[in-house]
Structure formats: C-alpha cells, structure tokens
Amino acid sequence: MDPMLNMAVRAARAAGDLIMRYVDRVDSLKVTPKGRNDFVSEVDRQAEREIVAILHKAYPDHAFLGEEGGRQGLARGDYVWVIDPLDGTTNFLHGFPQFAVSIALLHKGRIECGVIYDPMRQELFTAKRGGGATLESRRLRVTRQNGFKGALLGTGFPFKDQRQMDAYLAMFRDLAKDTAGIRRAGSAALDLAYVACGRLDGFWEIGLMPWDMAAGILLIQEAGGIVTDFEKGDKFMETGNVLTANPRLHALMYETIAPHVTDALRFKLPVAAEPE
C-alpha cells in the first residue's frame, strides 16, 4: 500500500476506535451547536486531534483542513489533509449506526488518496489516484445500472440552508418517479462510498463541504464513476453540489435535475468551503 494511504488508514482506524469507545456513552457527552441543525461533540474533536497527531508526526510539513479544527499549518509541499473525524454526528448522537471517518490527501488541489472507515461495520474503503478503489482489499466498481427503473439512489437534504429546499424537493420529486427508491442515511461520506461499491447506483446533494466528500469522490472516480457539480463541471468542491453515478445513469440524472438548478446553485454556496 502507498505509504501516505497506509498512514491515512492508520489514522482512520485510530479515530474509529476512539469513536467506538463512546458509542454506549453518548448521553454523557458534551454536545455544542455549531449552527442550524449542526452539532459537534467532544468525540468529534478528540477524533480529529487523534488523526492530526498521527499524520503530523509522519508528515510535519503537511497542512490540515478539518471540520472541527479548520485550517492548520502551511503546506510547504502543497499537501493538505482534508478530514471529517465523524461524518454523521447527528446519527452517532442518536444511536443511528450510520457514520464514518473520512480522510483525503490533496496535492496542489488534486485528491491523491482517500480513506473512509465505518467503525460500526469495521469496513475500510480506500482509494489511490491511478491505483483503484477497494473495500477490504476487494476491487470496487460502480454499478452498470443504465436507467432509472430498478435504480437505488442516495441523497442528503439541504438541512443547513433551507433556501435551497424548493429546488431540492423538485429534484427529489422528478428523480423518485421511476426509481426503485431513494435513501437518505445521513452520512455523505458513506453514501459516496456506497456508490463506489455498488450499494447505491447514484447520489446527489446540495451544499456539502470538502471534508464530507473529498475521499468519497476519489473512491467513485477510481471505481469508474462520474462526479460533477450540477452543471456537469468539476466545481463540486467549490459549490458543494455533487452529482454522481456511472456515466449513463449520471447523464439521465443530470437531465432530470437540470430544469431545477437555480442561479443560486450555479455559484459557490455560503455553506460550502474549500481548501485554501
């Protein structure tokens, strides 16, 4: 395994072990609201510190962009680790077993490796640019689903920014017409990993953050999928808007949501952020 990817795996597993120590003690945790429908627990912060400590020891010249710690350090070699220590905090706090650790490494803005670790199922998803994507050493490929009939899609509601809800619901309505179903499980990182491994045929969401999606994007790309923003471009890290599936299904999904893409969705959303 690539040394940097191996170190990311080590950090993700360490954070996952820490998270699992608190699974049955959620009621004792200190929880702080960060914004509308957005919470952080002391587990999030501890897990991020654990990840940063492991990676910083190995790569002291690298910078970090974390959900809880923000930007840390100056990347002299243009390397930035993008970290979500607990994607699905609300699920975790409610005992809903759908959350994960997500770690990606960017070099000059390009995602080079990614790890998503589900500590509940002990499932490890990894990807290396040009080296493919795996789940526990099994090579991943997106599904060959070529139409909506029988397709299972994933999504996430724009719960932090209600201004986009009407556009989102219109997309949801039209995509739901002919599919086998749409799932909203509450962890974008795992949703993207599930597209990469074929558990979901496609996924879309409004207003994600870089740490929500960086690792998952590379997983899907290395598994043969297409990832774009809502205008079929590559500005998903800037806009926070993601549309992904295999090439054929992606085209159909794009045609379906395009009439509902408002001007506000064509530009960077206030809730989105990008690595500096």
Measured distance between the N- and C-terminal CA atoms of the chain, rounded to whole angstroms: 28
CATH of domain 3-139: 3.30.540.10
In this structure, what is the dihedral angle of CA atoms 177, 202, 189, 100, given to the nearest 10 degrees? Answer: 80
pLDDT at 159 over 80: no
Taking only the tens place, the pLDDT of each residue in 201-238 is: 999 999 999 999 999 999 999 999 999 999 999 999 99
CATH 3.60.15.10 fits 152-266, yes or no: no
Taking only the tens place, the pLDDT of each residue in 170-208 is: 999 999 999 999 999 999 999 999 999 999 999 999 999
Q: Tokens 């997983």 correspond to what residue?
A: 219
Across the chain, what does the average pLDDT equal?
90
Residue with more model confidence, 35 or 176: 176
Angle between helices 247-257 and 165-176 (to 10 degrees): 130
pLDDT of residue 75: 54
Strands (E), 193-241: 202-205, 226-228
Full DSSP string of 99-155: -EEEEEEEETTEEEEEEEEETTTTEEEEEETTTEEEETTEEP------SSTT-EEEE
What are the sequence ranges of the domains in the chain? 3-139, 152-266
